[in-house]
Amino acid sequence: MSTADITAEHHDDHHDHGPAKGLSRWFFTTNHKDIGSMYLWFSLAMFLVGGSMALVIRAELFQPGLQLVEPGFFNQMTTMHGLIMVFGAVMPAFVGLANWMVPMMIGAPDMALPRMNNWSFWILPFAFGMLLLTLFMDGGAPNFGWTFYAPLSTTYAPDSVTFFIFAVHMMGVSSIMGAINIVATILNMRAPGMTLMKMPLFVWTWLITAYLLIAVMPVLAGVVTMMLMDIHFGTSFFDAAGGGDPVLFQHVFWFFGHPEVYIMILPAFGIVSAIIPTFARKQLFGYASMVYATASIAFLSFIVWAHHMFTVGMPLAGELFFMFATMLIAVPTGVKVFNWIATMWRGSMTFETPMLFALAFVILFTIGGLSGLMLAIAPADFQYHDTYFVVAHFHYVLVPGAIFSIMAAVYYWLPKWTGHQLNEGAGKFHFWMSFIGVNITFFPMHFIGLAGMPRRIPDYALQFADFNAIASVGAFIFGLSQLIFVWNVIQNIRSGKKAEAKCWEGAEGLEWSVPSPAPYHTFTTPPQIEGAK
Amino acid sequence: METRKNILRGSLFGALTMPSAAFAEWGLNMPVGVTEISRSVFSLHMTIFWVCVAIAVVVFGVMFYSMFHHRKSRGAKSAHFHENTTVEVIWTIIPVAILVAMAVPSAATLIEMYDPSDAEIDVQITGYQWKWKYDYLDEEVSFFSNLSTSRDAIYNAEQKGENYLLEVDKHLVLPVDTKIRFLLTANDVIHSWWVPDLAVKKDAIPGFINESWTIIEKPGIYRGQCTELCGKDHGYMPVVVEAVSKEDYAAWVATIKAEAAAKADLAGKTWTLDELMTEGEQVYLKACAACHMPNGEGLPGAFPALKNSPIAVGDVAAHIDIVVNGKPGTAMQAYKDQLSAVEMAAVITYERNAWGNNTGEAVTPNQIADMSWDMDRLMTVGEEVYGKACAACHQPNGQGIPGAFPGLVGTDIVMGDIGAHIDIVVNGKAGSAMQAFKDQLSPEEIAAVVTYERNAWGNNVGDSVKPSTVASWNGGEK
């Protein structure tokens, strides 16, 4: 491309032109809003696919005995459900929200690296397309759990494991590029006067999340590469017969896996910290301590990985260290919850759909956090480990935690994206169905876990039957109520009352200073920042 | 049916939905268990649970109060405070204090759990896809424990019993009031051995040995399951521990040893094709059907079919070999440690004649027993036996002592007819110092030593003797 062309193109940019026409808009776009939308649609599609798999699981578990699927396929469902929800639904949704909102929140015209942004997204459909196609391979899709412990995932894995490894590599490349882009944007593209400690908390939590991603996605890439070597190149990283160690796999995996847990929750903290002050019409309590608490959680996430492995036979000293370190995480997490409640205290609250989801987040995430505290007690963890108690715990932090925060965010910013006010009736209907469904699904799992039902089994002893039936009913209520969400979002795009620039009375922040819907290009000249955030 | 009383296993609305037999099992909470450790764990669990409940009540109480009173519709006007150092310090310090208070008893229990010293009985537990093997190291007792729930119950073709999926063919029998050390490992993938009532859960990891221990205080049957995803039938490998008095335990050990001896005798019996097929079908359903499927068609891409497969209708030796020795690097296990020769013979016969394979071939237990005795093993064991039983007279170099004991190098007996050689070792030579070794050595040892003599010291005859030949050796005929 000649200098003249660049000049010409640059000249064109000065006109506030709209998007390109047709499909090429989506293939070649470098616009953060377009890419954000694609991430969010992709995530929604994966959420529905992964959710359907969860419904297959719950349908089989409705009654004891095998009715619908064989154990081999059941294992493929649990594995694919986990992988798709973690890597395909939750993570891309947060990246999509970051794409849409971070530039608008810091007064930047776009992401720092727009072409890489396009590539980060477009890798994902191929990675997940490949992963999903393994369902049709001889031997079936990966069946070793989303944690893919060796040697079940190496020596004893179906042939599709190689495609799984390649798909994980692609997801990792996408995540790392996305994270670099977010860091570069936040550090370099803030409007003048937007100091770090004036940034909205969503920006802060994403900055820290992005660093976590950059630190641990290469570790995941490393561990799957070691698997690839074991499977195809005769090494024995995880095979004791060749001098390796299956437990090494778990250490490396969880060194990635535990920070990954926080990758899926820190942006949620940011979202809730934006929504609660808006609907309490009161400034966020303890902004600085929120930032420090987020950073502390991120730091601690690197030194607690082996609490996922209390039963592997670690030495006593290791066991004690990981128990104490894990218990410590309760402190900064507690600070966050207390701050949200202090924000609500003596506010002037209203309960629109985003606020309902945010409040449900605070309550149900806290329940998940408290069961996490129980799991931290190593001697008791021997009884909880790999039972439905753990399933209940992590679904409480991921479904009414991460997923509810994403829904809260979508409802909160949807008027900004589409220019139409929310249909509060449909939103509240969706909320209450989800809230009821999620609790009917996951609360009984605490009981069946304590009573002794292991996770990842297709069939169970008779004493677990009633709670499993209840959980299955709840799962279908929750799953089907997501169709209300899909309908509501599509309706909102197509029609609705015109939304104002600042459509929520108590909202603060730069994103509310631009019109609704946000123009294709925002902040082409940096805004003026006044006062403290 | 055994009953288990458990005061803390309550019931919420079980009475509405469950028949009374299963009522006692309708658990909402962790079992208290039957060991000192399990009680400590239960008390830690309840303590941390109530701590969490208390935190939740306070936090949610304040939150709900605020949601009710500080709402715009009630005319609430928002205040303007947004930080308060004192409050923030307090709500950082209080959780730290609670955590320290929890950490102390937790660490104490953990330290206790990590002390397996002074164990009186060692049991090695080995996880296999998808069953457990128990080796009583002090007793030389060893057996596999398989799920005993029928396929029909799993596939809803028959009523599910009270212990559906939690029942096995052989219990792990342990004495009460005895410190038992468990040594855990695995044969293929990682498994995890869990009995909630003992508060023992430990991973069984291939290539490594983990330790755990228990002292059971009350006789009874305690059920658990594998808790680490270990492949297709992870949900179908329960653990059943039967705790009995010390006297009953001693009696049980004696019985199981006698059973093992009786089973060994079966190998000598002559088996008809029909008998092998009947026995084989049982073994197949227990040991093979999980992967190769009851219809022999396998699971394409994961587990190969046996129906019309080159293995099952081809060379019988290759078929025996893969069953006996497994296929390294695949899920096909070596069954020589799990099944008796009779069982392996039966199941191979079954596979070669079921589902239209119809080879008409019967494999005898002897063929299986011989499989594991290749030339190398015969020679190695033979050398050992020779040193122990023969070298005193015939000398380690086979030269004998001229005039007293004949040499074995290049002589007629060892270089000539193999039948005569076997016969003289088995029955001795009347009127000479040559004893009848059938009373001193096992058939395997005799087969090995004869083979050794025929191939050592440059004899190099090149033939070998199988144990089955020796076992069925009848002095009257050749």
Point out which residues pair with B136 in neighbouring strands: B123, B141
3-class SS of residue B429: coil
pLDDT in tens, B341-359: 888 888 999 999 988 888 8
**CB-based contacts of A323, cutoff 8 Å, min separation 6:** A307, A310, A376, A377, A378, B103, B106, B107, B110
Query: Considering only CA atoms, which of A54, A58, A77, A53 is closest in space to residue A469?
Result: A58
A346 is catalytic: no
**CB-based contacts of A32, cutoff 8 Å, min separation 6:** A99, A100, A103, A110, A111, A114, A117
Share of chain B above pLDDT 70, in %: 92
Q: How far is it, in rounded angstroms, from Cα A244 to Cα A157? A: 18
Point out which residues pair with B202 in neighbouring strands: B193
Taking the domains of chain A in order of start, what are their residue ranges?
Answer: 3-12+30-529
Q: Alpha helix locations (H) across B395-460?
A: 412-415, 418-427, 443-455
Q: Taking CB atoms and an 8 Å cutoff, what residues of chain A touch B73?
A: 350
Q: Taking CB atoms and an 8 Å cutoff, what residues of chain B touch A457?
A: 225, 234-235
pLDDT on residue B477: 43
pLDDT on residue A273: 97
pLDDT on residue B474: 66
Q: How far is it, in rounded angstroms, from Cα A212 to Cα A261? A: 10
Which of the four pLDDT bands, split at 50, 70 and 90, describes residue B139? confident
The domain A3-12+30-529 is placed in CATH, from the list 2.60.40.10, 3.90.1150.10, 1.20.210.10, 3.30.70.360, at: 1.20.210.10
Residue tagged active-site, from A100, A204, A254, A262: A262
Q: Which two tokens stand for residue A234?
A: 């005769």
CB B428 within 8 A of CB B440: no
Q: Taking CB atoms and an 8 Å cutoff, what residues of chain A touch B48?
A: 373-374, 377, 380
pLDDT in tens, B366-391: 778 777 788 888 898 899 889 878 88
Q: How far is it, in rounded angstroms, from Cα B408 to Cα B411? A: 6
pLDDT of residue B9 exceeding 50, the answer is no
pLDDT on residue A520: 93
Helix (H) or strand (E) holding A394, with range, is helix A388-397
A32 is catalytic: no
pLDDT of residue A466 exceeding 90, the answer is yes
- State the greatest distance between any 2 C-alpha atoms of chain B, in Å, as a whole number: 123
For B48, the closest of A282, A312, A374 (CB atoms) is A374
A455 is catalytic: yes
pLDDT of residue B404 exceeding 80, the answer is no
pLDDT in tens, A507-529: 999 999 999 999 999 999 999 88
**CB-based contacts of A367, cutoff 8 Å, min separation 6:** A396, B56
Residue type, A419: G
pLDDT on residue B13: 35
Tokens 């202090």, residue? A342
pLDDT in tens, A349-360: 999 999 999 999
Q: In chain B, count of helices (H) and strands (E)?
A: 18, 10
A120 is catalytic: no
pLDDT of residue B4 exceeding 50, the answer is no
**Nearest-CA distance A330 → chain B (Å):** 8
3-class SS of residue B291: helix
Do B91 and A334 lie within an 8 Å CB cutoff?
A: yes
Q: How far is it, in rounded angstroms, from Cα B135 to Cα A109? A: 70
pLDDT on residue B21: 36
CA dist list (Å): B405 to B392, B394, B395, B459: 10, 6, 9, 18
Query: Considering only CA atoms, which of B336, B342, B340, B323 is closest in space to residue B276?
Result: B342
Point out which residues pair with A498 in neighbouring strands: A420
Q: Which two tokens stand for residue B423?
A: 């016969």
Find the Cα–Cα–Cα–Cα dihedral B227, B230, B235, B240, rounded to 10°: -60
ipTM of this model?
Answer: 0.91
Helix (H) or strand (E) holding B100, with range, is helix B85-113
Q: How far is it, in rounded angstroms, from Cα A411 to Cα A414? A: 5
Q: Which two tokens stand for residue B440?
A: 């001193």
Point out which residues pair with B175 in neighbouring strands: B244
The mean pLDDT value for B430-456 works out to: 84
Q: What is the DSSP string of B141-190?
A: EEEEE-B-S-HHHHTTSS---TTTTS-BSS-EEEETTSEEEEEEEESSS-
Find the Cα–Cα–Cα–Cα dihedral B459, B463, B464, B468, rounded to 10°: -140
How crowded is residue B331: how many other Cβ atoms within 10 Å of its Cβ?
Answer: 17
Q: Which two tokens stand for residue B311?
A: 């293995």
Share of chain A above pLDDT 70, in %: 96
pLDDT in tens, A363-376: 999 999 999 999 99
The mean pLDDT value for A181-186 works out to: 97
Which of the four pLDDT bands, split at 50, 70 and 90, describes residue B267? low
Which of the four pLDDT bands, split at 50, 70 and 90, describes residue B15? very low
Asked whether the bond before B238 is cis by omega within 30 degrees of 0, the reply is: no
CA dist list (Å): A341 to A373, A498, A504, B73: 20, 32, 20, 19
Do B82 and A345 lie within an 8 Å CB cutoff?
A: no
Residue tagged active-site, from A230, A260, A319, A381: A260
How crowded is residue A490: how many other Cβ atoms within 10 Å of its Cβ?
Answer: 10
Rg over CA atoms, chain A: 23
pLDDT in tens, B50-107: 999 999 999 999 999 999 999 999 988 888 888 899 999 999 999 999 999 999 999 9
Do B41 and A382 lie within an 8 Å CB cutoff?
A: yes
What's B225-274 look like in SS3?
EECCCCCCCHHHCEEEEEEECHHHHHHHHHHHHHHHHHHHHHCCCCCCHH
Q: Using CB atoms within 10 Å of the CB of residue B97, give its burial: 0 to 12 exposed, 13 to 18 middle, 19+ buried.
A: exposed
